Structure 1
Amino acid sequence: MRPRPPVNGRGIFSGTGLIITGLAATLAALVFPIWSYADRSGTAVDVLNAQTVSTRYGPLSALDREFVTKVRLAGLWELPAGQQALRKGTTQAVRTAGQHLVEGHTFLDQRVRDVASQLGLALPNEPSDQQKQWLATLSSAQGVEYDRQFANILRIAHGRVFSVVAQVRATTRNSLVRALADDANTTVLDHIKILEATGYVDWDALAQEMASGSTPPITNTPGPPGPTTDPTPAIPVTPPASPTYSLPPPATSPPPSEP
């Protein structure tokens, strides 16, 4: 019987050890980033949690608070712009658009003040610097030039707000903010349509402006005092009936020529 060759324990151990070591290293590489990401501060999740406060209507994020502020700011300049259009508009379509702005923002301003009161949020009492500039531009314009400026400035502003409303409505966990976003969506969409119906919207300029412009960044509006966590379930909110508006037929002809 042929004797068995001696077993090279070192060789077998070395090969098996390499395999085990490789597997262990791979597992560590997969696990470590998950552990370190969840553990370290400064991540997006960490920032979100730091800026979100608890309310009886559900978590209130920084974006939620910024949205409430923007609804109030919109009314502070668009309502007087609508009142101005009722006086200065040279066509019935422009005056009708002004009436829609007045009605829509009278309704929304009441809603946002009610929401802010329940959430303990402070609201601004005057338009932003950019909004003041828009009002100044409209105040200095006359005749057909006023109609053009009114339709295009307001249409650009509403287009920017529309995307913010959609983002808030899709992500908010706060029932009051969600109901306010529903009302804002109805009102903003109505205003977009009524401004387009004036026939003065410059579509090429609008596309360029929307592509180059952006909404102002979140300014970390302070939240109401209170704990950052709340085990109690959020109180559901039944939104009030949004106003309905009658729209004129869309304008299919070019804007009236200047006399």
Structure 2
Amino acid sequence: MLRWLIVLVAAVVAALSGVTAGYAAPPDVSDQDKAFLIGAHQDNLAEIQGGQLAERQAGKQSVKDAGRKFVEDHTSLDDQLKRVAEKLGVDLPGKPSEEQQAELRQFAAKSGTAFDRAWIDAQVTDHRKTLVSLDKEVSSGSSLEVKNLARDAKPVVQEHLNLVESIQSGE
């Protein structure tokens, strides 16, 4: 009888552990964390597309080179972000925001010096805003993983800002 009871208890425990493992609650992710992930993903998508435009349409080699660097770096940052978002169950949009798409269309209509000036000016503004967003997430986000993502992205974004400011001041 004792042997039967042990087998029964073991079977119930095994069955319940399988059921609960399949229905584990997702980690706690605040609305701020979700908004950060979505916004940062859209920023990355816009930076990748804008960088590709810079590679094709810029007049100065320094702007073309910055575009290539942005494509590489934002692709890498976005790959990390997508892994965190997937793990946390946050759905990401497939394209930049409407505002970002409108800005990209404006860049696409320019080439040479006109492109360089418009793109570099926008990059200075956008990267400054991104640094503020990163700082906000690091200081007041809820998810340690999302906060670490923001913290790790900050030096890359700062490097980009330094780069575009140096190109801007050299014009």
Superposition TM-score tier, normalisation by shorter sequence: 0.7 to 0.9
Residue 172 of structure 1 deviates from its aligned partner by 2.1
Contact 1:97 / 1:198 at 8 angstroms: preserved in 2?
Answer: no
Is 1:110 paired with 2:79?
Answer: yes
Q: Give the whole-Å Cα distance in 1 for the aligned partners of 2:49 and 2:95.
A: 12
Q: Give the whole-Å Cα distance in 2 for the aligned partners of 1:62 and 1:97.
A: 33
Contact 1:89 / 1:147 at 8 angstroms: preserved in 2?
Answer: yes
User: Which structure: larger Rg?
Assistant: 1
Q: How does 1:89-100 map to 2 (within 5 A)?
A: 89-100=58-69
Find the counterpart in structure 2 of residue 120 from structure 1: 89
Q: Give the whole-Å Cα distance in 2 for the aligned partners of 1:198 and 1:119.
A: 38
Residue 168 of structure 1 deviates from its aligned partner by 0.6
Secondary structure in 1 aligned to 2:71? helix
Q: Give the whole-Å Cα distance in 2 for the aligned partners of 1:107 and 1:95.
A: 19
For residues 185-207 of structure 1, what are the alpha-carbon distances to aligned partners after superposition, in whole Å with 9 as ceiling and x for unaligned?
A: 122112111111212xxxxxxxx
Q: TM-score w.r.t. structure 2 length?
A: 0.80
Q: Give the whole-Å Cα distance in 2 for the aligned partners of 1:163 and 1:112.
A: 18
Contact 1:78 / 1:101 at 8 angstroms: preserved in 2?
Answer: yes
**Letter of the 2:80 counterpart:** R
Secondary structure in 1 aligned to 2:93? coil
Q: Percent identity?
A: 28
Gaps of 5+ in 1: 1-53, 200-250
For residues 132-166 of structure 1, what are the alpha-carbon distances to aligned partners after superposition, in whole Å with 9 as ceiling and x for unaligned?
A: 11101100112101100010112211211211110
More helix by share: 2
Residue 63 of structure 1 deviates from its aligned partner by 1.1
Match of 2:156 among 187, 191, 212: 187
Is 1:165 paired with 2:134?
Answer: yes
Q: Give the whole-Å Cα distance in 1 for the aligned partners of 2:135 and 2:44.
A: 18
Gaps of 5+ in 2: 1-24
Q: Give the whole-Å Cα distance in 2 for the aligned partners of 1:193 and 1:97.
A: 11
Provide the aligned C-alpha RMSD in A.
1.5
**Letter of the 1:62 counterpart:** D
Find the counterpart in structure 2 of residue 144 from structure 1: 113
**Letter of the 1:172 counterpart:** G
**Letter of the 2:71 counterpart:** V
Find the counterpart in structure 2 of residue 64 from structure 1: 33
Q: How does 1:1-259 map to 2 (within 5 A)?
A: 55-56=26-27, 59-199=28-168, 253=170, 255=171
Residue 55 of structure 1 deviates from its aligned partner by 4.8
**Letter of the 1:79 counterpart:** I
Residue 173 of structure 1 deviates from its aligned partner by 3.1
Find the counterpart in structure 1 of residue 5 from structure 2: none
Secondary structure in 2 aligned to 1:68? helix
Q: TM-score w.r.t. structure 1 length?
A: 0.54
